[in-house]
Structure 1
Amino acid sequence: MKKALIFPGQGSQFKGMGKGLFEKYPEIKIKAREILGYDLEALCLEDKDDLLAQTQYTQPAIFTVSAMHYWEYLKENPKPDFLAGHSLGEYNALLASGVFDFETGLRLVHKRGALMAAASGGGMAAILGTSAEKLKKLLAEGGFDGIDIANYNTTSQIVIAGQAEDIRRAVTYFEEQKIQAIPLQVSAPFHSRYMKNAALEFEQFISGVDLNPLHIPVVANTTANWYTSAVKETLGSQIAQSVRWVDSIRFLMGNEVTEFKEIGGHILTRMVADIKKNCSPLTHHKSSVLSGNEKKVFLGSKDFCRDYNIKLPYVAGGMYRGVASPEMVIRLGKAKMFGFYGTGGLQLNEIENGIRQIKTALNNGESFGINLLHHFGDPETEWKLVDLYLKENIKYIEASAFMQMTKPLVYFRVKGLGKDAHGNIISSNQIMAKISRPEVAEVFMNPAPERILKQLIAEGKITEQEAEMAREVPVSQDICVEADSGGHTDAGRALVILPAIRTLRDQISTASRYSKPIRIGLAGGIGTPESVVCAFMMGADFVLTGSINQCTVEAGTSDLVKDLLQEMNVQDTDYAPAGDMFEIGAKVQVLKKGVLFSPRANKLYTLYNHYESLDELPVNIRKQLEESYFKKNLDEIWQEVKNYQLSKGNSSDIEKAEKNGKQKMAMVFKWYFGFSSRSALNGFSDRRVDFQIHTGPALGAFNQWVKGTGLESWRARHVDQIGEKLMHEATLFFEEKVNTIYNN
């Protein structure tokens, strides 16, 4: 039989609050005036200027009065078993748990109130007499994808938040449905996606505050579960996430709480009575209470974060044709996170413009990287890219689809080598190698091949001293193991390949006696907190995501593609030939739901293997290709291909194809792959069935994870927010499981 104290939040204020308490705690009046700059007692008792209802004044007032009520309660009662608070009230719960003292708590609340008061342009409304499930359905049916559920107060009292006009329309819509909707007098859409900027600013503020361990377990609004050691992150995210009050009370009920005592009010008492009457206890995670004395968990490598000047060991990979756009890289960089600009398939001038756009926006030392896709049979293009990267002072590149070491890669790595004042080798140019095979990983883990170093010396591109340093360091300090993923894939399994690559790393590092360890990351299948935890538990130093990022606001692809991706599940992908390596049968993983690209691409590859030229194709097959696949005569396609290659100066390729029917057929078929990509990226609705959309099942898993939340619509997904949420929830999940094991 357990007891929980609960603390009210904003909305519980009234003129005269704290009467009889301020004289008992004169030191509180003094401290409050020092921190706030005004007389809090006069505000609470008299409110002559009608300020008490304004958020920046309301929050410090409620926090202070609730604190005094709690201290009065302790004079005659023992400490409770558990604590909880509704939104702002959570700060009083943490105060009661000993996480911070009164002065620190008041400073936090003062900052929180100011940030929330500064937000504008939105509104909130209370929806009465309907369930959460029905409300979500009605919002979806009414097309209100810009509205979030802010508070789950009771089974029949739910608060929504969004842009002011959306809230006005929603209120009218619900009234037409005979559902009571009451607009709330607030200045902003609290506890919604629109408070993200305020949440991020608060996280920066609280990052410099020292906190203590919890001495009494506290339930977090955002998770309806126990607070872990990640107090700062949880308080930061609380501003922009739903208050899950119903599930919080049910969770306490599931932990044998039979008595709920509200401190300083009666609003929550009525809510609890409704919840107890209409809901069953939540019994999951019952034994996961943290002692509060554990160290703060940090998943992944802190060295990785230091070297890349980022806050999380989390990377967004460089998706093809600028899907990983400059906007995506900029958004991540401003959030002190890391992303690679996806340059594969772009022209040199496009890449240069993208780099300059990024550098203009990230001008305060933020980190970012650029993808370098291996150009099969075209070393000249690789040289042009590396020369551009060095000219633009790019320090981080992501090497993708390489099967062996190339001179441009070695050149980039070696030109960044030098020595510090103590004679230690340092490198400003870093290559993150994405690999899916041990033999390729071995090439990147070893120093640069001697033959390439000698060639570069002979060509005058590097010095003997640079080559000597290159012999003592790996080509890549960071290796990213790519399991089954979107785009080019060997369909590897993370459970198999990651341990094998880590073993290989240990062997090579020992033999080479590197002064700095090689780090191993994991990509492919990263789309939920559980998958993130699995990656780190298997020994990954960092994680890299791809598919989930192309269904965000910042992704450089069409809205039609994002609409399709938002609806996919884990089973909605297939394998198709890769257009850039069509002849050798390389595969890419693509979306199959709602499109026909995969079966059509596979049909083309089958025809290529079965026939020696276009002239050998049966009449009915040729007709099918021209009418359904290409929607053009094959001779017209060949003329387009020919003109394009000649414009690039590839006349020799055309001459060979004119003499070799097999090669000509390959070039015509590959036109379809290029066109299907362009159609998807540009959103050509009349060619929707032919969209080539690279993606892995991780996005399907992500979609299911966020279903029914504010992130269900891609229009509410921002690349930095989903990365932060994944890492934060992964940490909570890890701590929860560890403590469940410990307590059991």
Structure 2
Amino acid sequence: MLAYVFPGQGAQKKGMGGALFDEFPEIVAEADQVLGYSIRELCLEDPDSKLNQTEYTQPALYTVNALHYYKKIKDTGRRPDYVAGHSLGEYNALLAAGAFEFAAGLRLVQMRGALMSRAAGGGMAAVIGLSEEQIREALRANQLEKIDVANLNSPKQIVISGSKADVEHARPLFEGMKDVMMFVPLRTSGAFHSRYMQESSKEFEAFLRSYSFGGLAIPVISNVYARPYRDADIRANLVKQITHSVKWTESIRYLWGRGVEQFEEMGPGRVLTDLIARIRTEAEPLIVDDNEPLNGNKSLDDTSAIVSFPTVPAIESPQDHTMDQVTDRLAGISAVSLGSSQFKKDYGLKYAYCTGAMYRGIASKEMVVRMGKAGMMGFFGAGGLKMPQIEEAIHYIKERLDPDQAAYGLNLVHNPSEPWVEEQTVDLFLKHGITVVEAAAFMSITPALVKYRAKGLKKNAEGQVTASHKMIAKVSRPEVAELFLSPAPERIVGKLLEERKISPQEAEMLRIIPVADDICAEADSGGHTDGAVAYALMPAMIKLRDEMMDKFGYRKQVRIGAAGGIGTPEAAAAAFMLGADFIVTGSINQCTVEAGTSDAVKDLLQQANVQDTEYAPAGDMFEMGARVQVLKKGLFFPARANKLYDLYRQFNSIDEIDGKTKAQIQDKYFKQSFESIYEKLCASYPQVVEKARQNPKFKMALIFRWYFSYTTRLAIQGDEENRVDYQIHCGPALGAFNQWVKGTALERWQNRHVDQIAEKLMLETAELLNRRLALFARTPAANEAQPSGLDHVPAGAGR
């Protein structure tokens, strides 16, 4: 048997409904006429940020739920055996059963939302880990009878409701109980679904007097009674729903006991799907007498009110928890619980999530600021920029972010051909008080790294060394990770000490701490890559970290993060399951509003799929054979770059290359002669002139490396005439991300913002983990009975 279930407030998300608005234009027009505003614009664009305001949320969600239902009927032609809705969603269940037409239901919901939005002075909180009986007993024993039990989402996921002061007073009580996993205050203005909503209930009752309701063609499970509606009780039940319980656990158990095995959620997201999975792992079917009165026989005193978190109004300010965050917390694993708590504490982060640096400012100052303001950390892509450009970015970031309130960092890229650039960059960082650095592409420890690490070291009262300058090393090879997990090399410490670039005290402290605070294990990614596989790399790095901790007796844990290939909840979930203390994203952030590259590049990236990348030589490490991963779809750069490296390996000078090939390179690749490029390079870098004269192969490498700088510049500037030569660093994570958000508002890069992507990715990773863990917890028989593919609905589908 089949039941359709409809979510309530809390499932709303900008972009919800997507293409459904085009598929059902008559319904959309009808909604606009009833509401007096564009429902499509509200749901897809939310230009005035009203979607999370209760009086707008409820009509919007009712409409989108209805569109999902109409789409399902249109595609399958099958009507369900039962319908049920979570709080607001019950109106969609009644619509599906024929109690009223779409427009009439929308008018009811519009009034309901308006009345609920007026409530003030109340508070709500979710208690995780206790049963209903345990919560009621705790309230009675502590003279907190003014608090109502508000929502039974699952057997041990319950919301309480009352005055704000009473709910806050109850917090230490519940947090002190050993079985309580979490106490989560909800950002609400009213004590919804409790005795304190009586005034709203009376007003709604008066409004309903002018309405008549049709007979129900499909059984609708009542929130108040957890039993099927009777036709005669529709009006009374809708009034009681405002002050009484949403008995979701009992409703699902009842349907389960009636033989319903298949539940399909009609609306955006998977809030109810996840709750149902939890109920089915924690409870048993409810078998009732078929002769039992349809409205049940339980007392309905106001203190039995049980409130659904989806009926909680939206966040009241940008700093408040979003409803998705609350949903994640209620589900067990939350977005904020993923990763290392100490990592988040050390860097002052909301999530164990960072945006990595992309060179030449593609990871822009605007990107860093946006992440910082959202409570997350971004790294500015300082690699390849001149010192004045880096300094300007530092000023921009520091003017907009208080370092005591927002974390940010800059990257330091290994520069083996120009080591003085590393030291100049470090000196600039020290001058401006940059306290977090991402060290990337290093194959050995350099003096610049050690100098940065030394500055800011001190000993606390217990004699423990602390570092005010933190370093996250991004590596993909264990032997390089071992260098960063070791104390600074003695030869470098001694040389810096001899040159008086560090003090004797700093040298002493360098000998007892690792070079890096944290290691980011980078699997196959955009930019510099060794093509590592995360499943093999992460366990090896974690084991190495543990061995090095034991070897050197470090007091503070070095965290191991994961990067490369992370563009979907599935990938992020895999990283955390592998033991990642934090994750770092890269490629997916290049195709956002904040990315410091051209619109032309973003247009190309938006079309990329997982197979549309290729490996090419790294321009900054050309002679060493280092590789980067780049976009290949529609571009000649990968093939041309590889051709140049093949020629470099094959010949000792440009003069040895045949005339036809040289002409092709100058005419098609460079669009100018080798000599003109060489003259420009000599003028810009006079220090390399003598070496180039004496070493023809070095001269060839110098000229060939120019092409890599040139192609990067073409891409960042969006040079349309030379589009085929764009060098765009990109890994397959972006292709996976594009497929994940296809059909949603995030399909277009113009709607992508780095902080919103981070939030969505972390929230839906937590949702996915809860869903998968619930499935793993089933008995073998239940797993075998699960229809193929039912558990593999993409996280966030339809959002």
Question: Structure 2 length as normaliser, TM-score?
Answer: 0.62
Q: Distance in 2 between matches of 1:555 and 1:132?
A: 38
AA aligned opposite 1:577: P
Q: Distance in 2 between matches of 1:665 and 1:117?
A: 66
Q: CA deviation at 1:605?
A: 1.2
Q: CA deviation at 1:545?
A: 0.7
Q: Helix, strand or coil: the match of 1:514?
A: coil
- Does structure 1 residue 663 correspond to structure 2 residue 698? yes
Q: 1:116 — aligned with what?
A: 53
1:27-60 deviations in Å (ceiling 9; x for gaps): xxxxxxxxxxxxxxxxxxxxxxxxxx999xxxxx
Q: 2:772 — aligned with what?
A: 737
Q: Distance in 2 between matches of 1:348 and 1:582?
A: 23
Q: 2:677 — aligned with what?
A: 637
Cα gap change, 1:235 to 1:706, in 2 (>3 Å): farther
* Among candidates 311, 330, 334, match of residue 373 of structure 2: 334
Cα gap change, 1:8 to 1:615, in 2 (>3 Å): closer
* Among candidates 213, 220, 238, match of residue 264 of structure 1: 238
Q: Distance in 2 between matches of 1:5 and 1:489?
A: 46
- Is the Cα–Cα contact under 8 Å of residues 3 and 260 in structure 1 kept in the other structure? no
Q: Helix, strand or coil: the match of 2:758?
A: helix
Q: Distance in 2 between matches of 1:686 and 1:152?
A: 57
Q: Distance in 1 between matches of 2:656 and 2:619?
A: 22
Q: 2:46 — aligned with what?
A: none
Q: CA deviation at 1:125?
A: 13
- Aligned ranges for residues 292-371 of structure 1 at < 5 Å? 296-297=333-334, 298-363=337-402, 365-371=405-411
Q: CA deviation at 1:391?
A: 1.0
Q: Distance in 1 between matches of 2:649 and 2:489?
A: 36
Cα gap change, 1:218 to 1:670, in 2 (>3 Å): same
- Does structure 1 residue 379 correspond to structure 2 residue 419? yes
Q: Helix, strand or coil: the match of 1:575?
A: strand
Q: Helix, strand or coil: the match of 1:479?
A: strand
Q: Helix, strand or coil: the match of 2:238?
A: coil
Q: 2:545 — aligned with what?
A: 505
What is the identity percentage for the equivalent residue pairs of Structure 1 and Structure 2? 45
Cα gap change, 1:625 to 1:334, in 2 (>3 Å): same
Q: 1:400 — aligned with what?
A: 440
AA aligned opposite 1:733: L
Q: 1:21 — aligned with what?
A: none
Q: 2:321 — aligned with what?
A: none
- Is the Cα–Cα contact under 8 Å of residues 250 and 282 in structure 1 kept in the other structure? no
Q: 1:475 — aligned with what?
A: 515
Cα gap change, 1:723 to 1:393, in 2 (>3 Å): same
AA aligned opposite 1:264: L
AA aligned opposite 1:610: Q
Q: Distance in 1 between matches of 2:576 and 2:339?
A: 6
Q: CA deviation at 1:113?
A: 8.6
- Does structure 1 residue 674 correspond to structure 2 residue 714? no
Cα gap change, 1:633 to 1:465, in 2 (>3 Å): closer
Cα gap change, 1:673 to 1:258, in 2 (>3 Å): farther
Q: 2:477 — aligned with what?
A: 437
Q: CA deviation at 1:127?
A: 9.7
Q: 1:42 — aligned with what?
A: none
Q: Helix, strand or coil: the match of 1:584?
A: coil
Q: 2:660 — aligned with what?
A: 620
Cα gap change, 1:445 to 1:580, in 2 (>3 Å): same
Q: 2:526 — aligned with what?
A: 486
- Is the Cα–Cα contact under 8 Å of residues 488 and 515 in structure 2 kept in the other structure? yes
Q: Distance in 2 between matches of 1:624 and 1:446?
A: 49
Q: Helix, strand or coil: the match of 1:743?
A: coil
Q: CA deviation at 1:600?
A: 0.9
Cα gap change, 1:118 to 1:184, in 2 (>3 Å): closer
Q: 1:715 — aligned with what?
A: 750
1:116-168 deviations in Å (ceiling 9; x for gaps): 38999xx9997999889999xxxxxxxxxxxxxxx99989x99xxxxxxxxxx
Q: Distance in 2 between matches of 1:429 and 1:559?
A: 36
AA aligned opposite 2:736: A
AA aligned opposite 1:735: N
- Aligned ranges for residues 560-599 of structure 1 at < 5 Å? 560-599=600-639
AA aligned opposite 2:476: S
AA aligned opposite 2:357: G
- Is the Cα–Cα contact under 8 Å of residues 361 and 385 in structure 2 kept in the other structure? yes
Q: Distance in 1 between matches of 2:700 and 2:470?
A: 40
Relative contact order, higher structure (CA 8 A, sep 6+):
2
Cα gap change, 1:250 to 1:340, in 2 (>3 Å): farther
Cα gap change, 1:134 to 1:324, in 2 (>3 Å): farther
Q: Helix, strand or coil: the match of 1:583?
A: coil
* Among candidates 237, 245, 264, match of residue 282 of structure 1: 264
AA aligned opposite 2:264: L
AA aligned opposite 1:597: F
Q: 1:103 — aligned with what?
A: none
Cα gap change, 1:130 to 1:266, in 2 (>3 Å): farther
* Among candidates 684, 699, 705, match of residue 740 of structure 2: 705
- Aligned ranges for residues 54-453 of structure 1 at < 5 Å? 116=53, 211-212=127-128, 218=153, 259=228, 263-264=237-238, 282=264, 287-289=277-279, 291=282, 296-297=333-334, 298-363=337-402, 365-453=405-493
Q: CA deviation at 1:377?
A: 2.9
Q: 1:168 — aligned with what?
A: none
- Does structure 1 residue 522 correspond to structure 2 residue 562? yes
Q: CA deviation at 1:630?
A: 1.6
Cα gap change, 1:260 to 1:421, in 2 (>3 Å): farther
Q: CA deviation at 1:623?
A: 2.3
Q: Distance in 1 between matches of 2:726 and 2:635?
A: 6
Q: CA deviation at 1:282?
A: 3.0
- Is the Cα–Cα contact under 8 Å of residues 318 and 546 in structure 1 kept in the other structure? yes
AA aligned opposite 1:522: A
RMSD in angstroms over aligned alpha carbons?
A: 4.7
Q: Distance in 1 between matches of 2:752 and 2:507?
A: 46
- Is the Cα–Cα contact under 8 Å of residues 484 and 515 in structure 2 kept in the other structure? yes
Cα gap change, 1:692 to 1:234, in 2 (>3 Å): farther
Cα gap change, 1:612 to 1:233, in 2 (>3 Å): farther
Question: Structure 1 length as normaliser, TM-score?
Answer: 0.66
- Is the Cα–Cα contact under 8 Å of residues 125 and 184 in structure 1 kept in the other structure? no
Q: 2:686 — aligned with what?
A: 651
Cα gap change, 1:739 to 1:231, in 2 (>3 Å): farther
Return structure 1 stretches of 4+ with deviation > 6 angstroms. 1-10, 112-115, 117-120, 123-135, 151-155, 183-187, 229-236, 249-253, 283-286
Shifted more, 617-626 versus 561-570: the winner is 617-626
AA aligned opposite 2:482: E
* Among candidates 724, 734, 741, match of residue 759 of structure 2: 724
